[in-house]
Chains A and B, each alone.
Chain A
Amino acid sequence: MNNIFVFCEIEDNNIVADVSLELLTKGKTLANELNCKLEAFVLGNNLNGIEKQIFPYGVDVLHVADEPRLFPYLTLPFASIITSLFEQEKPQIVIFGASTIGRDLAPRIASYMRCGLTADCTSLVIGNHSENRTGKEYKNLLYQIRPAFGGNILATIINPETRPQIATVREGVMKKEIFALDYKGIIKNIDVTNYIKDEDFLVRIIERHIEPKKVNIKNANIIVSGGYGVGSKENFKLLYELAEILGAEVGGSRAAVDAGYIEHERQIGQTGVTVRPKLYIACGISGQIQHRAGMFESSLIISINSDKNAPINNIADYAIIGDINEVIPKMIKYYKQNSK
């Protein structure tokens, strides 16, 4: 009882989403600190063997709801099953990936249970709290730290009175790490028919076109990234050219995504993916806080920007002051001349 629960989201072909595995790793750390168990829950169809993907992250109990109508995801049946599970198991902390599924589902559950929910946390730590007004002391709360006001401030949110404490976290924010390959947890099957009703299917899926993940920006060693300053979708070709010869992935800032220069899947920053490559080349990126937060842990940062006062230059190791159309071709030329 009162354990930590992580939602394991299922993608096509019954693969557990990367973000869920990252959260299992975080959940394990928190569980060890609180001296409680790590539990996971997974809902889908034909889930036989799914535990093989989950137990190595140190999961002690896996709750499985396996039923044909549970894939693809629908809000209401998921919410019905999960709220029943929580009412029975009384978790103290629950973490969901801040994916389109997690952000659809977690608020519905938090509202039903009348408990606190914090979206898009960038850090989760355990801490105490004393309420000045009442003098009441709270031990071992979950500090849910998230950016607010467009990324300009960091807020630490707590839920002193309500349980579970629910948080969502975006992909790439936490690091995925196997706990023990042969870790053995136990499986508890959820008797789905007890929890879902016909009214849970008032929304039905008519068509679905989900592309397989083609970009692996989170795990790239080198990232060439462009901002609004790149100027056009056409100019982004130059970035792809440099990326091609360096064996890099191409990313972009929110401004570049909003302008339609590059697809959303490649967005780096608080509202996109968090990355920590060996080398990050920022082209025409001014460096809004929300972008810097998603890449400042890169080992080496090179910025190319015609504005020497661009905030990105404050965290760059090298700041090339100039036009990307002049600089990138030279980088390509001198890389070719000097490599091998």
Chain B
Amino acid sequence: MRGLKIIVLAKQVPDTHNVGKDAMKADGTVNRAALPAIFNPEDLNALEQALKLKEKYEGTTITILTMGPPRAAEIIREAIYRGADNGYLITDRKFAGSDTLATSYALSLAVKKLKPFDIVICGRQAIDGDTAQVGPQVAEKINIPQITYAEEILSFENEELIVKRRLERGIEIVAGKLPLLITVNSSAPACRNRNAKLLMKYKHAKTVSELQETTEDYVQLTKDRPYLKIEEWSVADLNAKDEWLGLSGSPTKVKKIENVVFKTKASKILSTSDNEIESLMKELIENHTIG
């Protein structure tokens, strides 16, 4: 059995699942600064599936690809600490304002640049948008089949991956010819922790922009140890068409953003006393809400 060349697509996202009280500004807009940036949870599930394949099939390599601001290099390091081999950060101001279509276009160019590959794998969706669109759209743009909602990659035989999918009311086992794009659900196993040895080896891994802001020592360090360099690609490196990027490449436009408000009711506060609960139940029976 041969090794596999795997590309993991990952995103750094604001932690919308742990929205604190200061996450919304007084004017009802999101205070991004108050939300910590994290590794998108389902992308970690995807990374774990890739790492499992690497353990099983000798010669497998994992490349992590992320698009975002310079600080998104952080999740490339996080992936490398867990066993990914290398990473590329796609970063350029021209990507700002991209919707899922423009994002998929940029990612697909980067994936094509990394050809040949066997598997592109990513989380089902990112928690800052919950759209689940980028995976299938990248698959379409690089013209390969997709397997969404994957819970486990069971095996690799005869150039086919056998994948278990978790659907609304059951499961499906499918076989797909490589190359394939796979999106992974949160029901898949959690990602392993950082490996202490890898953490030691790669803690100084940096992108070019990060190196520019750092001391001479680090520049020398990455010269001596080339594996510490995280590649950075801009629009020019991808030969992307400007008009297909960012706001102009995004068919969807945000017309309006509103705070979610629910009409508050003057609720009747009750205690747990027998008296109050009995009278509530009586009232519900009498007005035919129950019974």
Contact = CB atoms under 8 A, between A and B. Distances in A.
Contacts, number: 250
Given A207-B173, A289-B260, A327-B272, A159 B128 contact: no
B281 A159 contact: no
Nearest to B149: A100
B264 interface: yes
Interface stretch (A29-37, A46-54, A110-118, A188-196): A110-118
A302 B250 CA distance: 44
A279 B290 contact: yes
A303 B180 CA distance: 47
Contacts of B128: 148-150
Nearest to A320: B270
A326 B277 CA distance: 11
A332 to B, nearest CB: 9
B141 interface: yes
B167 A210 contact: yes
B253 A160 contact: yes
Interface string B1-40: 0000000000000101101000110001110000000000
Chain B's interface size range is 35 or more
B17 A150 contact: yes
Contacts of A207: 171-173
Q: Is the interface of A mostly helix, strand, loop or mixed?
A: mixed
B40 to A, nearest CB: 13
Given A108-B146, A114-B251, A279-B289, A314 B262 contact: yes
Contacts of B130: 119-120, 150, 271
Interface in B118-164: 127-137, 139-141, 145-149, 162
B286 to A, nearest CB: 9
A104 B146 contact: yes
A278 B272 CA distance: 23
Q: Which 5 A-B pairs have the closest CB atoms?
A: A150-B16, A116-B251, A322-B272, A210-B170, A111-B137
Interface of B: 14, 16-17, 19, 23-24, 28-30, 99-101, 104, 127-137, 139-141, 145-149, 162, 167-177, 180, 186, 250-260, 262-265, 267-272, 274, 276-278, 280-282, 284-285, 289-291
